[in-house]
Structure 1
Amino acid sequence: MRALIHDFETAGGRARECGVVQLAVMGGAVGDDGAFDIRWQSCANYHPGGPIDPITTQVHGLHDEDVAHCPDYRRAVPEVYREAARQGFDALVIGFSNTSFDNVIARRLGYRPKRSLDLFLPAYRLKKRDGLESASLGNTYRELTGQEPVNAHDALFDARMTAALIPPLMARFGFTDFSTFLDWATTGQPVPGIRLRFGPARGQTIESLDDDALTRALNGWRGGNIDVHASLEAEYARRGLAARPEQGQLF
């Protein structure tokens, strides 16, 4: 299956408005065993259109002077995605936490993948099931490959770590076929102990919510982590709460 792996480093701030200082894109084919065969890649630094937040510099190491003479990301990045599409790597986009970050930035710049796989979701499921210390990209890479993420937050190294995680994540969950893993990883699964990341109850586990807060969270879900939605639905059903009206009946 042809696919694209991407990773952004930014000037800081929210994905809906941040400037881009680095983008790595790898186009290739994912084998049945999950191995990613790189056939094309692009990695470059860009001018973010404004200053880089010093706190963000501490993460990726890029300073204003490092990107002062780089092309403006708003003009240059869309061409990278256009080239990826011309080469046929737009059927599936893979990333780590890309649902809430990289994909959001890419959409701002005109990229519309047909399907998306966020490897944070199976990593988080593994954390909750097996007690991993963290479901971050670096820690998951360390735990599953035995190698240190020595260049973490360099966009190309992060993209390569993402690619390297596909086979061991498949193996830990007993998958031997990538297509089956893809279907599982892109379908919401109830996860015990998952916490809300939105709304007044942010930070609380779904199981700890009272009935009113649970109902508000479920009705207020507007997209994002599919496991959060599946967990809200499962808890609502477990409690036997009244059926919610169809969206069209709310108005």
Structure 2
Amino acid sequence: MRALIHDFETSGGRARDCGVVQLAVLGGELESDGVFDQQWQSSECYHPGGPIDPATTRVHGFHDRDVAHCPDYRHAIPQVYREAARQGFDALVIGYSNTGFDNVIARRLGCRPGRSLDLFIPAYRLKKRDGLVSASLGNMYRELTGDEPTHAHDALFDVTMTAALVPPLMARFGFTEFSPFLDWATTGQPVPGMRLRHGPARGHTIESLDDGALIQALTGWRGGSIDVLASLEAEYARRRLSKKPIQSRLF
């Protein structure tokens, strides 16, 4: 299956309106065993259209002066995704925590993938199942490959780490073929001990919510982790509450 793997570094703020300072995209073929055969690459820095938040600089290391003479991301990045689509790499887009971040930015800039795989989802399932310390990209790379994430938060290194995680994640869950792994990884699964990352109950496990908070969380789910939604629905059904509330508009 043809696929692209992408990662953004930004100027800070929300995915819906942040500027971009770096984008790395790998295009290639995913073999049946999950090995990524890279055939195309784009990795560039961009002017974000405004100042970089100092807190964000502390994460990725980019200062305003570093990108002062780079092309404006709003004009340059759509060309990258057009080229990826021309080569057929937009059949599947892969990232790490890309559901609510990288994919949102990419959609603003013209990316229209046929399907999306967020590797954070199976990584988080593995963390909960095996009691791992963290499901961060760097920690999973260290855990599953034995190598150190020496250049984490450099977009090109991040997409390289992401590509390397597919085969070991498949193996940890007993998959020998990529296609069934893709179906499993993109279908919501209830995860015991799932904590909410957004909203009034942020940081609380779904099982610990009172009925009112559970209903509020399920009603207000607006997209994001498919496992959060599956966990909310499973807990709602377990408590045998009244008819499931209508959710807000999903996007």
TM bucket (normalised to shorter chain) is: over 0.9
Change (3 A) 1:179 1:186: same
- Per the normalisation by structure 1, the TM-score is 0.96
Give, in angstroms, the shift of residue 159 of structure 1: 0.3
User: Residues 162-188 of structure 1: CA distance to partner in whole angstroms, max 9, x if unpaired?
Assistant: 000000000000000000000000000
- Describe the superposition over 1:220-242 as per-residue Cα deviations: whole angstroms up to 9, x where unpaired: 11111100000001011111112
Following TM superposition, by how much is the alpha carbon of 1:27 offset from its aligned partner in structure 2, in angstroms? 0.3
Cα-to-partner distance string for 1:81-133 (whole Å, 9 max, x where unaligned)? 00000000011000000001100100111211110000000000000000111
Give unmatched runs, 5+ long, in structure 2. none
After superposition, residues 137-152 of structure 1 pair within 5 angstroms as 137-152=137-152
Aligned residues: 248
CA distance in 2, matches of 1:38, 1:212: 49
Deviant stretches of 4+, over 4 Å: 245-248
Residues 220, 247 of structure 2: 8 Å contact kept: no
Whether the 8 Å CA contact 2:219–2:245 is kept in 1: the answer is: no
Percent identity between the aligned chains? 80
Amino acid at match of 1:30: L
* Unpaired stretches in structure 1, ≥5 consecutive residues: none
Match of 1:54 in 2: 54
Whether 2:13 is the aligned partner of 1:27: answer no
Name the CA shift for 1:24/1:246 in 2 (closer, same or farther; >3 Å).
closer
Which deviations, in whole Å up to 9, do the C-alpha atoms of 1:179-233 show, x marking residues without a partner?
0000000000000011112222121110001112111211211111100000001
Q: Structure 2 CA distance, aligned partners of 1:219 and 1:247? A: 4
Q: Tell me by how many angstroms 1:246 deviates.
A: 5.8
Q: Who is 1:131 aligned against? A: 131
For residues 34-49 of structure 1, what are the structure 2 equivalents within 5 Å?
A: 34-49=34-49
**Structure 1 letter corresponding to 2:243:** A
Work out whether 1:97 is the aligned partner of 2:97.
Answer: yes
Cα distance in 2 between the residues matched to 1:208 and 1:111:
38
- 1:189 aligned to 2:210? no
**What's the counterpart of residue 112 of structure 2?**
112
Question: CA-to-partner distance for each residue in 1:123-160, whole Å, 9 max, x for gaps?
Answer: 00000000111000000000000000001111000000
Q: In 1, distance between residues paired with 2:244 and 2:233?
A: 11
Letter in 1 for 2:125: R
Query: Which residue does the alignment assign to 2:122?
Result: 122
TM-score w.r.t. the length of structure 2 is 0.96
Shift of 1:12: 1.0
Deviation (angstroms), 1:243: 2.0
**191-200 vs 17-26, greater mean Cα deviation:** 191-200
3-state secondary structure, aligned to 2:7:
strand
Corresponding letter in the other structure for 1:37: D
Match of 1:81 in 2: 81
Amino acid at match of 2:217: A
Paired AA for residue 173 in structure 1: F
Is the partner of 1:90 in helix, strand or coil?
helix
- State the superposition RMSD in angstroms: 1.2
Paired residues of 2:215 and 2:245 also in contact (CA < 8 A): no
Structure-2 separation of matches of 1:153 and 1:147? 16
Q: Secondary structure at the match of 2:90?
A: coil
Query: What amino acid is aligned across from residue 171 of structure 2 in structure 1?
Result: A
TM-aligned CA deviation for residue 80 of structure 1: 0.2
Alignment partners' CA distance in 2, 1:63 and 1:217 = 38
Secondary structure of 1:129's counterpart equals helix
TM-aligned CA deviation for residue 55 of structure 1? 1.6
Contact 2:97 2:118 in 1 (8 A): yes
Between 180-189 and 198-207, report the one with greater CA deviation: 198-207
- In the alignment, which residue of structure 2 is the partner of 1:172? 172
After superposition, the C-alpha distances for 1:39-97 in whole angstroms (9 at most, x for unaligned) are 00100000000111122111111111111110000000000000000000011000000
Which residue identity lines up with residue 170 of structure 2 in the other structure?
M
